[in-house]
Each structure stands twice: as C-alpha cells, then as structure tokens.
Structure 1
C-alpha cells in the first residue's frame, strides 16, 4: 500500500521469538519506493518491551532498504551526525505500520565515520536461547558486513549531504 509523503507511521521491532522489543510512535514518511522507505522524526515516544517509555532527544532520519538486513537511524546532534544501525530482518510495511525483527547486533557510527559493533554478547545469548537458524545467523553477519561496506563507500545514508537533504524535507511538514 502506497501512502503519500508526510503521512505518519509507527515502527515496531520484535525479537526472533515474535516477542515485542520496541516501538517508535510517530515517524513521518518522507519517501517510499520499491527500493527504500525514508522517514523523519523528532521528540518521538519510544516504548520498550518492559513498558518503559522515553522520548528521543534529537531529530532523526530513518532509512529502511527493501530486502536489507539492517536499517539506519541518523541522529542529528550539534556536534555532527551519529548513526545507529539496527541489524534486523527486512522490514514489512502495511497500514502505516513498519515492522522488523531485531537481531541484537548494532553498529554505532560516529560523525568521523568510525564505528563500533555493539551487543555481541546479547546476540550470542539470544541466538542460543531462541535457536536462531544457521541461515539467519549468516544473514545477520552479512548485514553487519554490508553496513561496514556502506560506511566505507559512503553509500546511502552515509553519503555526505544525504541526511541533511532529507532533514530539510522533514522540516517542510507542519504535522511533524
């Protein structure tokens, strides 16, 4: 289902066992194509699996590539753009709800494009506990390698000017 730019949608992530992980209440769709969904948000309510709620502290541009085993959240801070790359299943988008399975590993990217891979221990524990199939484990590791390759190649959301351009577009919507 195609919706128009400026339409709000909700993001929900789950774990491999289908248990709820986290949700972001309102992100504005900036672009939707056969290849990618790009959204923007700021001061959005996030709900954790334990019921805890908090609000994001800075504007963000979120990028979900079709068929990709990662998504990116580019956080616009006074000292530069930081990226949080969730390694997870390809997304599904229906009725203004975007969902994906979060596979624990994350890649945090700093304004100078250096990065850290986070939550390796959580991935090891969950892969045993939830019995991740070998093909899922391979796809997760491939997702990490793809993110690193994109960082080095300055592809997609890591391309200079990408986040700023989409943030300018986000600011044009009065219902943000």
Structure 2
C-alpha cells in the first residue's frame, strides 16, 4: 500500500456504507504518512457535503487515522482546550491517484471535551442507516468492539488523547504552513 509523504496535501473523503460520497475535506497537510497511520492537519479548510453544500472549518485540527482500527479521531484546537470528534468508521485507504484518504463513516460518533468527559452521538442515525443500508451483523459487532477500544483510549489517555499529542503535531503543522 502506498502512503502519502509528509508535507504533501491530501483530501479526506468520507463515504457511506452504500458507496455514496458523504463529505470531503479539501486541503489537509500530511504530517505523517505510513501504511498503518496517517496524521493530517487543516485549518479553515473547505468541507463539501454530499448535497453540494459547503462550509469552512473554524479552527485548526489534527486528524488521526489508523488502518488497524475502525475509528478516526479529530483533535480541534479551541480557546478553551482541545475538543475531539471521533468517527466510528472503516479503516482508511489512501488513493494515490486522487491524493485522497478514504473511509466509510458508520454514523456513530464520540464527542470528547477538554476534561476528557465524552458523549456517544448519533445512535438513532446508526440504527436507521443500519436498517436502510443493511449493515452486516459482523460490521455491527466490529463497530461496538472498536467503540470499546476507543473509550479505553480516551480513559487511558492513549494515542491522540495523550497529553501533548495534538499540540506537538500542531507545532509540526505550523512548520509547513
């Protein structure tokens, strides 16, 4: 598998289980690119929704993708601290032709606050799409196992939740910007 080079630009493309494009983040800078982990960053980047509507992100963000896990983690640097948004999703693939990181969004999200308290979001949306798009039982089982791993990471301060992780990668991003 090919991985992007640090300092290069990539798009982030989120799909639904049906194969429909869900959301695209236009310009993210690759900070680390390996076959198993890609860390990217963006700040005030354009996001395009599947219906064509677009908007701009409000703050710098460090995006963590791990090919071994069914989730990705976005750490957003805000005035009151780092807020995280975690998507339960397929492991990523990197498409070198499109210069795009791609994954399937499985609706369930976890919002993590600076004090490391968190909330599970979009359970209703997950149940609706699970029925509508016929998520296999295996996917359901994997997602809930991965949700347990994600919660463990949050509680233990692992990976992107470890002290200094987002700040250190943001400092690296500033060297490219």
Q: TM-score range by the shorter chain?
A: over 0.9
Provide the residue aligned with 1:117 in structure 2. 120
Structure-to-structure mapping, 1:1-176, within 5 angstroms: 1-95=2-96, 96-174=99-177
- The CA distance in 2 between the partners of 1:14 and 1:29, in whole Å, is 20
- The CA distance in 2 between the partners of 1:51 and 1:141, in whole Å, is 31
Cα pair 2:71 2:86 within 8 Å, conserved: yes
Runs of 4+ displaced beyond 4 Å: none
Query: Cα RMSD between the aligned structures?
Result: 0.9
Cα pair 2:110 2:119 within 8 Å, conserved: yes
- The CA distance in 1 between the partners of 2:69 and 2:176, in whole Å, is 28
Give the 3-state SS of the residue equivalent to 2:146 in structure 1.
Answer: helix
TM-score normalised by L of structure 2: 0.96
CA drift of 1:33 comes to 2.2
Unaligned runs of 5+ in 2: none
Give the 3-state SS of the residue equivalent to 2:23 in structure 1.
Answer: strand
Aligned positions, number: 174
Unaligned runs of 5+ in 1: none
CA drift of 1:35 comes to 3.0
